[in-house]
Amino acid sequence: MDCETGKGRPTMEGESPGNLQATYPLQIIAMDHIPSLPKSYKGNTELLIWIDLFTGYVIAKASASRTAQTIAENYEECVFRRFGASEVIRHDREPGYMAGFFRSFNKIVGQKQRATMAYRPQANGTAERMVQTLTRFRHYQQARETVHERLPDAIQSRADRHNESIHPYEIEVGMQVCLYLDRVKEGYVRKLAHMWHGPFRVAAVIDTHAVRLEIAGTEYRLFPIVHSSKLKPVRNFPDRPKVPLVIEDQDRFDFDEALLPEDSWDTSLADGEYEVERITDMRSGRRTRYGRTMREFLVHWKGYQEPTWVDEADLNCGALLHDYLRRQANQHRFNVMQSHEEA
């Protein structure tokens, strides 16, 4: 290291010698295992994985142990029997991988072993990432199964707590109730109409599900016997303050729009504003710094004879401007049709 500059030896350019680059499928395989998994129905607690570094193809095999013989048998069944031997197999320094039996097996099939160090898992990063992915998937799967098992109990518990605070009301003779009618007058919107009508007095309780109402003296014309599910008691609030109305009918102010002056809807113009009567012509105006060409319109003002050219940004008559542009578009279409007929 240079003491003056504090710089050491320049780093070596290029990839590390340990970075293996495959040139065809299943040339180089990364191998790893996931230990201490929950015991399956077949008694398996380990999961061996093989990953092709060229295509990313993944092979997984569950097993009950991770001895060298078990690893060799699983490799022969899942990889060697289907695709043949690879040139290089990369793995960490697991005892099952480094045992003499597995080494002898690799020597027989003619493939090399490349063991990585435990303190540098990046050397076998593809396999390590797949281990994390499968571990998370197993964790999420267990959590989902747990949720599915406990969800019915949670729904039932929530329903029980909700029903504890709700008690069915009993309809008795003499009660004031409201009646639900799904009929809506013609011309009214259903979602804005009042469906609960009343109040009505309960004249008699016929049975558990039928009630007779007092309809006489009301404006409703309906059959007096109704189902109890269409009734709800009228709630009284004795603590609610009440203000008696002491103003006479003739002293009340009528807000009917017929009493308003005829020019009540006309808005007054502010200083510097003029009312547009019509728009008769259009031309190209100034160009903005963004390259857009502004339009100018020939405007006739109400109360003035001479029209003036006004920039589009200074106009505040959206309806008149829309009508003029629509007329122009219709005129252009008509001219195009005429030109085709003449041709």
Mean pLDDT of 292-305: 87
Q: What is the pLDDT of residue 141?
A: 75
Can you tell me which residue has the tokens 């050219």?
309
- First-residue to last-residue Cα distance in the chain: 87
Q: Where is pLDDT greater, at 9 or 50? A: 50
Main-chain dihedrals φ then ψ at residue 32, nearest 5 degrees = -160, 175
Does the pLDDT value for residue 219 go beyond 80? yes
| Residue 1 scores a pLDDT above 60 | no
Question: What structural domains does the chain harbor?
Answer: 28-135 (3.30.420.10), 176-233 (2.30.30), 276-342 (2.40.50)
Which pLDDT does position 110 carry in this prediction? 77
pLDDT at 59 over 80: yes
Strand order in the sheet with 58-63: 58-63, 46-52, 28-34, 88-91, 112-115
Determine the average pLDDT of the residues in 137-149. Answer: 77
- Convert the pLDDT of each residue in 144-189 to its tens digit: 778 788 888 888 888 787 777 666 667 888 888 999 988 877 777 8
Judged by average pLDDT, the poorest of 8-12, 236-240, 297-301 is: 8-12
State residue 202's pLDDT score.
92
pLDDT band at 17 (very low <50, low <70, confident <90, very high): very low
Give the integer Cα–Cα distance in Å for 99 and 68: 6
Q: Which pLDDT score, from 0 to 100, does residue 213 have? A: 92
Using alpha carbons, list the distances in angstroms from residue 5 to 8, 12, 13: 9, 19, 21
pLDDT confidence of residue 121: 64
Positive or negative CA dihedral for 10, 14, 16, 17?
Answer: negative
Using a cut of 0.75, tell me whether the model's pTM lies above it: no
Q: What pLDDT is attached to residue 197?
A: 87
CA dihedral sign, ordered 100, 106, 109, 110? negative
The pLDDT-based confidence of 117 (bands split at 50, 70, 90) is: low
Structure tokens, 94? 């697991």
Amino acid at 137: F
* Strand (E) or helix (H) holding 34: strand 28-34
What's the chain's average pLDDT? 78
- Once rounded to an integer, what is the mean pLDDT over residues 245-255? 66
- Give the pLDDT mean for 211-234: 88
Is a pLDDT exceeding 80 seen at residue 33? no
Distance CA(173)–CA(212), nearest Å, equals: 9
User: Residue 225's pLDDT band (boundaries 50, 70, 90)?
Assistant: very high
Burial label for 317, CB within 10 Å (0-12, 13-18, 19+), is middle
Task: Write out pLDDT tens, residues 69-106.
Answer: 888 888 888 888 888 888 888 877 776 666 666 777 77
Share of the chain above pLDDT 70, in %: 79
- Mean of pLDDT values over 304-321: 87
Q: Which of 3-7, 57-61, 166-170, 321-325 has the lowest mean pLDDT?
A: 3-7
CA 58 to chain centre: 32
Tell which phi-psi region holds residue 232, choosing left (phi > 0), alpha (psi between -120 and 50) or beta.
beta
User: For 34, left (φ over 0), alpha (ψ -120 to 50), or beta?
Assistant: beta
Contact yes or no for 51/29 (Cβ under 8 A): yes
pLDDT at residue 254, rounded to an integer: 61
Rounded Cα distance between 162 and 150, Å, is 18
